[in-house]
């Protein structure tokens, strides 16, 4: 027996020890011990071997733009949106592409190999759509990039958002987005959910809306989103991102809403790093945290995956492409501190988010794409505690990063051989 590559002696997230045999871009064997020759052996003895990290909510058109043309002084979501509006006319295809590719270098070095990025379609040039479609093709051997047509300035509120959303989908954008809480009225928000869900249903596409990203407990667009998922037969195809208003909702209303979401198989994508920063900005004390009801969702069987949302952009001034940072913040804010909860948090930045993105060949199983990460930790809880360094990242059967932490060596065609996470502008 022979393999192109064997990852030897690692500990899988469930705790068992295994050798993983890889041929071409596929996992072809997972056994306690493989007695075989291999073109290359990665020694993972004593280390956690996990499927790649997955970020189901990101903005790659805005990333690494921190400080351009100025910083967000108030730190609020609304100033962030206004600031992005100032930056948008200044964007060029090449600048968006270069920043996105630099971010993909960071992601690869962190073992973050699947990303769903929203792309703003409220720009008649659709320059960011074109640039990110190009980036998607370029990084495909390493990173699964999924694009969401996102009408940042409102599907109805922006005069050309509707036609641009359709144009972006025609160009090959994968998922239908929306932002109902930013429309002019609650009623327009409700209608935007209906129309966008109908567009997705006609095209057989998934839906992922920025939904109720506010502290207003009366922002209830998630109810309509769940209703439309049910009405249009889109179970398992729909996600609500952020859902921060649920933090502040009346408990009785939430007790009706949660089973409605479960019935419609609507997933939730909270973004704990950004929302602990953005929410509660109008509060004095007590100050609300603004994270949606994660443990309660899990108790109803609602799928939850955590997103990073922003790295060094008009909304968030930090970030390193490390999904363990995201899970670590979620652990604290949602108070998910039991061993079972902590293991689940690791799944929520790997397998659960992959399920939300409906990645067909993801995971540590025979026949799946041979993408994985070897971590400087013994198990998922230790990985969270240490926000463990990556020792080796394999994408589609090839070692793309080796080393540890900031000293990762990259092997990406046409890209620099080391990753530099400092930010200069
Ligand atoms: Fe977002």
Ligand 1 midpoint to CA 59 (Å): 6
Asked if pLDDT for residue 424 goes beyond 80, the answer is no
User: Tell me, what's the pLDDT at 174?
Assistant: 98
Crossing angle (nearest 10°) for helices 127-139 and 161-171: 20
Q: State the pLDDT confidence band at 287, using cuts at 50, 70 and 90.
A: very high
Ligand 1 midpoint to CA 179 (Å): 9
Cα–Cα distances (Å) from 117 to 58, 132, 182, 237, 308, in that order, read 4, 9, 19, 16, 10
User: Tell me, what's the pLDDT at 401?
Assistant: 96
pLDDT digits (tens, 9 = 90+) for 351-400: 999 999 999 999 999 999 999 999 999 999 999 999 999 999 999 999 99
Query: What average pLDDT does the segment 325-334 reach?
Result: 98
Cis peptide bond upstream of 35, omega within 30: no
Domains of the chain: 2-51+362-418 (2.30.40.10), 53-356 (3.20.20.140)
Ligand 1 midpoint to CA 18 (Å): 37
Crossing angle (nearest 10°) for helices 186-203 and 161-171: 20
Q: Parallel, antiparallel, or unpaired for β 390-395 and 409-410?
A: unpaired
Provide the b/e sequence for 397-421 (b: ≥16 CB within 10 Å): bbbbbbbebeebebebeebeeebeb
308 Cβ contact partners less than 8 Å away, ≥ 6 residues apart: 55, 57, 58, 271, 273, 274, 319, 321, 323, 325, 326
Cα–Cα distances (Å) from 393 to 105, 347, 363, 377, 419, in that order, read 12, 18, 14, 14, 13
User: Tell me, what's the pLDDT at 197?
Assistant: 98
Dihedral Cα 23, 25, 28, 34, nearest 10 deg: 50
**CA proximity to 377, closest of 53, 47, 12:** 47
Please provide the DSSP assignment of 350-377 as one string: THHHHHHTT-TT-SSSTTSB--EEEESS
**Which tokens is 355 given?**
């399920």
Task: Give the active site residues.
Answer: 213
Ligand 1 midpoint to CA 36 (Å): 46
Query: What average pLDDT does the segment 175-185 reach?
Result: 98
pLDDT digits (tens, 9 = 90+) for 6-56: 999 999 999 999 999 999 999 999 999 999 999 999 999 999 999 999 999
Ligand 1 midpoint to CA 216 (Å): 18
User: Tell me, what's the pLDDT at 406?
Assistant: 55
Ligand 1 midpoint to CA 293 (Å): 18
User: Tell me, what's the pLDDT at 281?
Assistant: 92
User: Tell me, what's the pLDDT at 59?
Assistant: 98
For the chain, what is the mean pLDDT?
96
Ligand 1 midpoint to CA 367 (Å): 33
User: Tell me, what's the pLDDT at 405?
Assistant: 54
Ligand 1 midpoint to CA 308 (Å): 8
Lowest mean pLDDT among 259-263, 336-340, 414-418: 414-418
Query: What average pLDDT does the segment 341-354 reach?
Result: 98
Q: State the pLDDT confidence band at 425, using cuts at 50, 70 and 90.
A: low
User: Tell me, what's the pLDDT at 408?
Assistant: 82
**Sign of the CA dihedral 390, 395, 400, 406?**
negative
């Amino acid at each position: 027996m022979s393999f192109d590559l064997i990852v030897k002696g690692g500990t899988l997230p469930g705790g068992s020890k295994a050798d993983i045999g890889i041929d071409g871009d596929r996992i072809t064997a997972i056994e306690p011990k493989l007695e075989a020759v291999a073109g290359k052996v990665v020694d993972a003895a004593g280390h956690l071997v996990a499927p790649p990290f997955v970020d189901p909510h990101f903005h790659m058109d805005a990333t690494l733009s921190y400080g351009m043309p100025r910083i967000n002084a108030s730190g609020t979501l609304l100033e962030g949106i206004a600031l992005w509006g100032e930056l948008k006319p200044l964007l060029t295809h090449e600048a968006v592409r270069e920043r996105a590719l630099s971010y993909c270098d960071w992601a690869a070095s962190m073992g973050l190999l699947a990303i769903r990025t929203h792309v703003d379609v409220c720009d008649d040039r659709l320059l960011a759509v074109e640039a990110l479609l190009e980036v998607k093709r370029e990084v495909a051997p390493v990173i699964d990039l999924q694009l969401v047509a996102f009408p940042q300035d409102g599907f109805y509120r922006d005069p050309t958002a509707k036609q641009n959303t359709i144009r972006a989908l025609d160009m090959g954008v994968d998922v239908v987005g929306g932002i109902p809480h930013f429309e002019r009225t609650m009623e327009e928000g409700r209608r935007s959910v209906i129309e966008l869900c109908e567009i997705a249903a006609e095209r057989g596409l998934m839906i992922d809306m920025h939904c109720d990203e506010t502290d207003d407990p009366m922002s209830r667009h998630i109810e309509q989103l769940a209703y439309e998922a049910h009405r249009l037969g889109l179970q398992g195809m729909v996600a609500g991102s952020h859902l921060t208003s649920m933090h502040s909702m009346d408990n009785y209303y939430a007790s009706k809403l949660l089973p409605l979401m479960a019935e419609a198989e609507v997933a939730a994508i909270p973004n704990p790093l950004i929302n602990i920063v953005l929410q509660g900005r109008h509060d004095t004390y007590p100050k609300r945290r603004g994270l949606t009801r994660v443990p309660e969702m899990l108790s109803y069987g609602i799928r939850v995956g955590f997103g990073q949302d922003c790295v060094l952009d008009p909304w968030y001034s930090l970030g390193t492409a490390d999904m363990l940072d995201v899970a670590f913040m979620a652990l604290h804010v949602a108070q998910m501190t039991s061993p079972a909860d902590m293991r689940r948090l690791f799944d929520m930045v790997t397998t659960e988010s992959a399920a939300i993105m409906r990645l067909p060949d993801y995971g540590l199983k025979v026949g799946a794409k041979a993408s994985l990460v070897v971590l400087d930790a013994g198990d998922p809880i230790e990985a969270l505690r240490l926000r463990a360094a990556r020792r080796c990242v394999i994408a589609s059967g090839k070692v793309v990063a080796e080393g540890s932490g900031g000293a990762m060596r990259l092997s990406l065609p046409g890209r620099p051989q080391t990753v530099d996470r400092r930010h200069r502008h």
